[in-house]
């Protein structure tokens, strides 16, 4: 027969085992909740972006030539300006999360989620990263895609077009000449007079209204 001391020892051991089991269950619940929260955050990020890819500016020149425009939207002439290069941390500090993902990692915002896809005001669309003028509202048209679309840039000198084979597609990417910010893609299904559709991301641009 067990004496009282043995009974007390077994009771303590049993209680300890129960505590460990409860702590184990609690840790599992907490870790599961953390995993779910992480999945939710990833899902939210995925709901705004499509196929983010790093933007590489390794071979960019020290200076570039762009065309500048005045507050009235009129061309003031060509200028030679310094090519803008910043660290990843500096871009993250300057830009909103969605603008960073689009411009610096070549992401694509989801259709109909941008601020300017349905904007009809008169003005100029500037690069969100360096303020270079990119598109004039006079060339904006309703493409039915859910992204702001233009039939030509405000100045050919202000953008760069390059081959983009990402995502298993053969496309032409459009970026800002001064800072290499990814803007979107250009397609050959636009209206006259160019027949082009510059399908841009709202998150890559800021709109400056003209009087």
Beta strands 149-150; 159-164: pairing state: unpaired
* Nearest to 128, CA basis, from 142, 111, 118, 114: 114
Instruction: Catalytic residue, from 129, 176, 179, 199: name it.
Output: 199
Q: Please say whether the beta carbons of 208 and 124 come within 8 A.
A: yes
* DSSP letter assigned to residue 59: T
Q: Which residues pair with 187 in a beta bridge?
A: 197
Catalytic status, residue 176: no
The H or E element that residue 113 is part of is: none
Residue with tokens 């061309």: 75
Residue with tokens 């641009």: 205
167: left (phi over 0), alpha (psi -120 to 50) or beta: left
Active site residues: 199
């Amino acid at each position: 027969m067990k004496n009282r001391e043995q009974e007390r020892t077994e009771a303590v051991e049993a209680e300890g085992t129960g505590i460990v089991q409860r702590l184990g269950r609690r840790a599992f619940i907490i870790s599961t909740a953390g995993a779910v929260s992480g999945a939710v955050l990833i899902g939210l990020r995925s709901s705004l972006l499509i196929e983010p890819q790093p933007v590489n500016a390794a071979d960019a020149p020290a200076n570039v030539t762009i065309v500048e425009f005045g507050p009235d939207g009129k061309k003031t002439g060509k200028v030679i300006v310094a090519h803008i290069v910043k660290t990843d941390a500096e871009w993250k500090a300057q830009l909103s999360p969605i603008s960073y993902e689009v411009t610096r990692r070549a992401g694509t915002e989801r259709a109909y989620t941008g601020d300017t896809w349905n904007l009809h005001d008169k003005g100029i669309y500037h690069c969100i990263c360096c303020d270079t003028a990119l598109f004039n509202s006079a060339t904006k048209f309703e493409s039915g895609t859910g992204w702001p679309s233009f039939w030509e840039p405000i100045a050919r000198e202000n953008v760069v077009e390059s081959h983009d084979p990402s995502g298993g597609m053969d496309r032409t990417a459009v970026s800002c000449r001064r800072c290499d910010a990814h803007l979107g893609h250009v397609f050959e299904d636009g209206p006259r007079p160019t027949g082009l559709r510059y399908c841009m991301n709202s998150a890559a641009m800021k709109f400056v209204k003209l009087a």
